[in-house]
Amino acid sequence: MARRNNLILGHGEELTHGVTVPSGGGLKNPPYTFAGARQRLAPRMREASALFANLPAAARPKNRVVAMVTMHPRYISKSDFPERFFDAFGFRSIGSRVRRIAPENWGIKNPPESALANDIFISGALDAFGSLAKALPIVSEGVPWASDLTHIETFSAFTATDKFLPPDVRHTAPALYEIVIHNANDSDVIPAFLAYARLLKAEPLEIWRREAGGLTFLPVRATASIVRALADFSFVRVARIMPRLRVFRPDIIRLTPTTALKIPDEPALDQDSRVVIFDGGLPLNADLSRWVTLIEPDDIGEPSPLLQEHGLAVTSAVLFGNITSDLLTRRPLCHVDHVRVLDVTPEDDELEYFLVLDRIIFHLKNNPYQFAGISLGPQHSITDDEVTQWTARLDECLSTGATLAVVAAGNDGELDAGPD
C-alpha cells in the first residue's frame, strides 16, 4: 500500500557534488542619492555641532559628546553598519536601541507606513563633530565613507529632552531618580558625571551604583529641574524617576477554590531538573516541602502574608498546573526552589527596586538552574525603545544560555495601551 505524503526530491543528483548557493538579494536601491543625503544631513550636523558647543564644559568629559545616528529601516543588519563613516572622524559606537520610524523616502515600491530602525549612539571629540559639519557640504562622492550617508535617516545631538523620561515637573521637592550612563570602556565618564552632579547640588548614591552591558545605573536624589540639567551630561542615556515594583493588591491574586484539594502523595517525576521561582515566599501552613525548598536571603526582612499568598499561587501553578474542575492536582514534574525576594517593605522605600533585583541576580549567578520564573517587576512599561536596569542586568546574567527564564508580563494592568 502506498505511503501517504510520499515526497519526491527533484534534482536529487545535485546533492552528489558541491552546490554554490547565491547569497543576498544584490545591491539595494538606496533611499537617498548621495547628493540628496548630503543635502538632508548637512544642516542637521551643523545644528548638532552648535548644540554640543553650547553645553556646559563640565557636561563634556574631556570635551567629548554623544550624538544619535538613526539608520534607515532598510539598513539595519550588521553589514550595513556605517563603520567607514565613524572611523573617518574617530567616532565610537557606545550603544543602540530599536525604534519605529516613518522615513522620508523608502527607495522601494509599495513601502509600509513605518518600520523598525536602529538608533546608534556615537561618542566623539567636540572638534570632530565640528569638522564633520564643515566637511559634509563639500565632500565628494568618491570619498570612501561618503556612500554610508545614503543609508542614514537622520543625525542629531542626543539632548536632555530626549533623555528625561518623563519630564515630570510635579517633583518640586527632591526625589530619587535613576540615571543611566554610557560608560563602555571609558573610565573617565563616571567620575566626570559624579563631579558634574555635585556641581549641580545633586546627591548621587554611589553605593547603589550598578553596571550592565556598558551602562551604569545610578540613583541620584535631586529636584526635577536639577535632573533636567543633569541630563545635559553628554553620556547620560536616560533620566527617570526611580522605578517602583508592581504592587500585589488583594484583588489581583486569582481566586482559589475553597474546597480542600487532593495533594498527590508522590515525589516529582524528574529529580534532575533545576527550577527556581523568585517571589514573595510561602505561607507557613502550606506544606509543599516534598517538592519545594524555600530559600531566604540573609538580607531580607519579614515576609508579607499577601506576598506569601502570591508566591503560593505562582509555585502551585508551576507544580500542579491548572486546577481542574474535579479539584484534583497532578503529580509535579520537578522539584522547585522558591527564593523569597520580597518582604514587608515600607511604601516609601525608594530602593526596593535595586534590592530585589540584586537578590535575584546574586542567586542566579551563584546557583545553576535550567529554568527560572520571575512573577514580579517594575511598575513602568518595559519596551524595546529604551534601556532599563531590569532587562539589562537580567539579560547579562542569562546571556550564557544555561537558564531559560519566564517573566510575567504584568499583574496590575488597569490602564489600556492608549492611542499608540
Instruction: Give phi and psi for 157, each to the nearest 5.
Output: -70, 145
pLDDT at 25: 46
Distant-in-sequence, close-in-space partners of 342: CB < 8 Å, separation ≥ 6: 245, 279, 280, 281, 303, 304, 307, 311, 356, 376
**β partners of residue 350:** none
Strand order in the sheet with 64-71: 92-101, 115-125, 64-71, 152-157
Q: What is the distance between the alpha carbons of residues 158 and 256, in angstroms, rounded to a whole number?
A: 51
What pLDDT, on the 0 to 100 scale, is given for residue 66? Answer: 96
pLDDT at 300: 92
Task: In whole angstroms, give the CA distance from residue 409 to residue 92.
Answer: 35
How much is the pLDDT for 5? 58
Domains defined along the chain, listed by start: 34-158 (3.30.70), 163-241 (3.30.70.260), 270-407 (3.40.50.200)
Q: Extract the residue ranges of the chain whose pLDDT is less than 70.
A: 1-27, 166-171, 184, 247-261, 323-329, 347-348, 381-385, 409-420
* Rounded distance between C-alpha atoms, residue 304 and residue 207, angstroms: 27
What was the pLDDT predicted at 208? 95
At residue 350, the pLDDT reads: 85
pLDDT of residue 291: 93
